[in-house]
Amino acid sequence: MSIMASKELLAVEPPSEPSPHSASQSGDVGDASKDRGGQRVGTMADKLRDFEAVMDAHYRGEPIEKKIAGLNQVIDEHNQWVKSTQVSHEATRKELEQESQAAQAIQRQIEEADRLLAEKPDRGNKAAVESYNTSMERRNKLVEQYNHLGAAYRQHGTSFDDVVTKSRAEQRVRQEKLSSHRADVEKQIAQHKQWFENGEDLLLFRGVNRLLAESYAEKLTGQTAAVIKRIDRARAIRREMAEHTIAANERASHGLLIVEATLCGQEKCFLVVDTGATTVTLPRSLVNAMGLSARLGKPVEARLAGGIKTTGRELVIPKISVGGVEAQNVSAVVLDEPKAGVDGLLGLSFLNRFDFQLDQRRPKGLILKPKSDK
């Protein structure tokens, strides 16, 4: 009888690992009722809800890292399934090989017995006939054993064929789901990255600042708990965005030094320390929120880092506090926010009021001391 050949091990190729920084992003939060930056053309409560949704999508909980970690977990689980499947199939393949070898060993014994039994004994020789019959009985038992092993081997092989077929079908389903999941995650990450590259973060920050200014204006008409809560939430979003920008700059080899300042003892803002800027700069929305619009003067020229010149309305800020020290009546220029999470620049109109030192190796980075008398 023929011996069934041993089955091949299921060949499953694990998917390649994703790049830890594969790109993607989500676009605007919006529909046609929203402007860029996710701001709804509606009530301030609507705008705040939109801003919170954008923050959830792009800032909170390290969304990119979570998406990549989740994808990597799915891939790890798939690879673990592949590994366990391969181990199981290899063990079965070895069992089949051992069964085949055992059957082949018996087959060789049968062939040797047939060779010896080919020569018939002299029927008149009782002892020779008895020996021949004993050998034939032994040979028949070997055939019986061989047939039993053969039947078990065929059944085992058929069962293994079914397992392999099911495993391959499951593999296809798993890999299709994995490919779909990976494509979806990579799309989300790419959209997320594109959102930042398109400057939507800066538009969001400016939108939040406008909301803060509008809420302050509403507060003047009659203070309500809802308005105060909205102001607190806008402040919290501003801080989240600032902390995100500060952390990114701390990770960068040549990042900006961003400090927290307090305007008029009331409103927190976040400024880039810029020794190349002649003056402090603030955005119009923050000026409005602080009720300083009436102090705006004529357009003046300001010099920024790198010798860049720009023009904005002049302003004298009653008080700025940074790191426990303060300066009064500080000259400033009103300019748009330079980047998400940053309100403006802390320039020489403030810094020159003090003996200052920059040391980004220290936690606060900016050291300010009262001017020493010389």
Sign (positive or negative) of CA dihedral 125, 126, 131, 136:
positive
The mean per-residue pLDDT over the stretch 107-125 comes to: 91
Percent of the chain with pLDDT over 70: 87
Residue 214 has pLDDT above 60, yes or no: yes
- Sequence-distant (6+) residues with CB within 8 A of 131 are 121
- Examine residue 325 and state whether it is found in any structural domain, yes or no: yes
- Examine residue 159 and state whether it is found in any structural domain, yes or no: yes
Structural domain containing residue 85: 61-197
> Across the chain, where does the E strand assignment appear?
24-25, 258-263, 267-273, 280-282, 299-303, 309-322, 325-334, 344-346, 354-358, 366-370
Number of helices (H) and strands (E) in the chain: give both, helices first.
7, 10
- Examine residue 202 and state whether it is found in any structural domain, yes or no: no
Query: Which residues does residue 267 pair with via DSSP β-bridges, in sequence order?
Result: 263
Q: What is the pLDDT of residue 252?
A: 78
The last residue of a domain, from among 154, 173, 197? 197
Residues 193 and 263 in one domain: no
- Examine residue 5 and state whether it is found in any structural domain, yes or no: no
Residues 65 and 189 in one domain: yes
Look at the chain and report how many structural domains it folds into. Answer: 2
Q: What is the pLDDT of residue 42?
A: 67
Segment (H or E) for 352: none
Residue 374: pLDDT band (50, 70, 90) is low
The last residue of a domain, from among 180, 197, 214? 197
Q: What is the pLDDT of residue 17?
A: 33
Residue 81 has pLDDT above 80, yes or no: yes
Q: What is the pLDDT of residue 256?
A: 85
The dihedral over CA atoms of 326, 327, 331, 335, expressed in degrees to the nearest 10, equals 0
Residue 367: pLDDT band (50, 70, 90) is confident
Residue 4 has pLDDT above 50, yes or no: no
The mean per-residue pLDDT over the stretch 96-107 comes to: 95
The last residue of a domain, from among 164, 197, 230? 197
Residue 344 has pLDDT above 50, yes or no: yes
- Examine residue 93 and state whether it is found in any structural domain, yes or no: yes
- Examine residue 146 and state whether it is found in any structural domain, yes or no: yes
Q: Measured in Å, how far apart are the chain's first and last C-alpha atoms?
A: 111
- Examine residue 361 and state whether it is found in any structural domain, yes or no: yes
| Least confidently predicted of 72-81, 106-115, 248-257, 321-330 | 248-257
The mean per-residue pLDDT over the stretch 153-167 comes to: 95
How far, CA to CA in Å, does 162 sit from each of 10, 42, 89, 166? 12, 62, 12, 6
* Nearest CA among 374, 369, 335 for reference residue 354: 369
Residues 169 and 275 in one domain: no
Contact criterion met (CB below 8 Å) for 160 and 99? no
Q: What is the pLDDT of residue 41?
A: 52
* CATH code at position 310: 2.40.70.10
Residues 186 and 271 in one domain: no
* DSSP letter, residue 294: G
- Sequence-distant (6+) residues with CB within 8 A of 318 are 264, 292, 328, 329
Q: What is the pLDDT of residue 28?
A: 34
Residues 186 and 280 in one domain: no
- Residues 261-316: pLDDT tens digits? 999 998 999 999 999 899 999 999 999 998 899 999 999 998 887 788 899 999 99
- Residues 183-204: pLDDT tens digits? 999 998 899 899 999 999 999 9
Q: What is the pLDDT of residue 263?
A: 94
Which is more confidently placed, 111 or 254?
111
Percent of the chain with pLDDT over 90: 63
Residues 191 and 266 in one domain: no
Residues 65 and 187 in one domain: yes
Residue 36: pLDDT band (50, 70, 90) is very low
CA distance 2 to 4: 6
Residues 175 and 273 in one domain: no
- Examine residue 124 and state whether it is found in any structural domain, yes or no: yes
